[in-house]
Structures are given as structure tokens and as C-alpha cells.
């Protein structure tokens, strides 16, 4: 039996939810990380759900079934790096899910970040996670890299909850 992997699917603009729904209707396992955002209009404010990674969702399928997956309206292409389909490890999917479940404030960033201080979270909802810490502006962020789509999750963590791994 062919190996199931998490592949990164690029969708048309703001079509992530519809594409995910259509793929689930075809019986595929889909992961579309969503965050809640407060939007301001001239007459009101409203909380809206939006994709954490604009234009991307994750599909668990086999390499042989990639073409069939693209037949869904709104699906554009699978992301490639160095001529290969981009895949994301299950452990990275689990990390994204865990962060979303905690409800901490998240930003995404696709810039190349120079390796920073290696840290471990010693308190709070993400206790036990290890990674790197960067300082952006006047805030400390804990970085979780998602290399399959060249994205980084930046979670704001109070410095008191970070311990240098070298300690």
C-alpha cells in the first residue's frame, strides 16, 4: 500500500474553507489551521475565522492520488521545493494543532530567520516544547518552523516562561 503523507495544497484566493470541505466530501483527511481575527468595519467589529496560512491547506494522501486531489474546484497546485512535492511531517501538524488549541496569539512569517537562542518553554500551555527564540520589535517570540511551506509560526511567550537549553 502506498504511503500516506501530508502534502501542501495551494488554493485560489480565500477558497481554503471550500476546498477543504470538498476534499473531505471525497473522503480525504484535510487539515486547515484556522485562527479567529477581529475585523473592523466602519459601522461594526466582528470576529471572523481565517486560514492561518493564506492560500494553503494540508492534505493527507498518496503521491499517486495528487492529480485526483487537484480536480476539486479551487485547488491550484501542490507546493514544490527543489523539484519535489512539499510534505509536512505528522509531528509538525501535531505542533500546529497544539498551538491552535491553546488559544495563544499567533503570527505567521515567511522570512528567513537567522538561528537564535535555543529555548525550552517551562510554563504555560506550551510547556515542554523546545525551539528557538527571536526578538522582534520589543517582544520575544517562540519560533516553530514549518519547512514544508517555508513558514514560521511566531508565538508570543513571556520571557519568564523561556529557559535557555544551554542552562
pLDDT in tens, 143-158: 777 777 778 888 887 7
Domains, the chain, with CATH or none: 5-88 (3.30.70.940), 99-164 (2.30.30)
- Percent pLDDT > 70 in the chain is 88
**What pLDDT sits at residue 37?**
83
Are the C-beta atoms of residues 130 and 120 closer than 8 Å to each other?
Answer: yes
Q: How far apart are CA 155 and CA 164, in angstroms?
A: 17
* Residue 90 three-state SS: helix
pLDDT-wise least confident of 12-26, 74-88, 110-124, 131-145:
110-124
CB 32, CB 10: distance < 8 Å: no
| Cell numbers placing 140 | 520575544
Report the pLDDT value the prediction gives residue 30, as an integer from 0 to 100.
97
User: Alpha-carbon distance 29 to 15, whole Å?
Assistant: 17
> What does the pLDDT read at residue 137?
65
Question: Over the stretch 91-121, which tens digit does the pLDDT of each residue have?
Answer: 999 989 998 998 888 877 665 544 566 777 8
Instruction: Reduce the DSSP state of residue 45 to 3 states and report it.
Output: strand
Q: Residue 24 contacts by C-beta under 8 Å, 6 or more apart in sequence?
A: 30
To the question of pTM greater than 0.85 for the whole model, the response is no
Strand partners, 77: 10
Q: Are 6 and 31 a contacting pair, CB within 8 Å?
A: yes
* Calpha distance 142→162 (Å, rounded): 9
* Residue 111 pLDDT: 58
Query: Which pLDDT score, from 0 to 100, does residue 166 have?
Result: 62
Closest CA to 131 of 107, 161, 101: 161
Q: What is the pLDDT of residue 162?
A: 73
Amino acid at each position: 500500500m502506498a504511503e500516506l503523507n501530508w502534502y501542501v495544497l495551494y488554493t485560489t484566493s480565500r477558497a481554503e474553507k471550500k476546498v477543504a470541505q470538498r476534499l473531505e466530501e471525497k473522503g480525504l483527511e484535510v487539515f486547515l489551521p484556522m485562527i479567529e481575527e477581529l475585523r473592523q468595519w466602519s459601522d461594526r467589529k466582528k470576529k471572523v475565522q481565517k486560514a492561518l496560512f493564506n492560500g494553503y491547506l494540508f492534505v493527507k494522501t498518496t503521491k499517486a492520488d495528487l492529480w485526483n486531489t487537484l480536480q476539486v474546484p479551487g485547488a491550484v497546485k501542490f507546493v514544490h521545493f527543489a523539484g519535489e512535492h512539499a510534505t509536512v511531517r505528522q509531528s509538525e501538524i501535531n505542533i500546529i494543532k497544539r498551538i491552535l488549541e491553546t488559544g495563544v496569539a499567533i503570527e505567521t512569517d515567511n522570512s528567513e530567520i537567522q538561528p537564535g537562542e535555543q529555548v525550552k518553554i517551562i510554563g504555560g500551555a506550551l510547556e515542554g516544547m523546545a525551539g528557538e527564540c527571536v526578538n522582534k520589535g520589543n517582544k520575544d517570540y517562540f519560533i516553530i518552523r514549518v519547512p514544508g511551506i517555508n513558514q514560521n509560526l511566531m508565538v508570543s511567550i513571556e520571557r519568564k516562561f523561556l529557559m535557555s537549553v544551554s542552562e
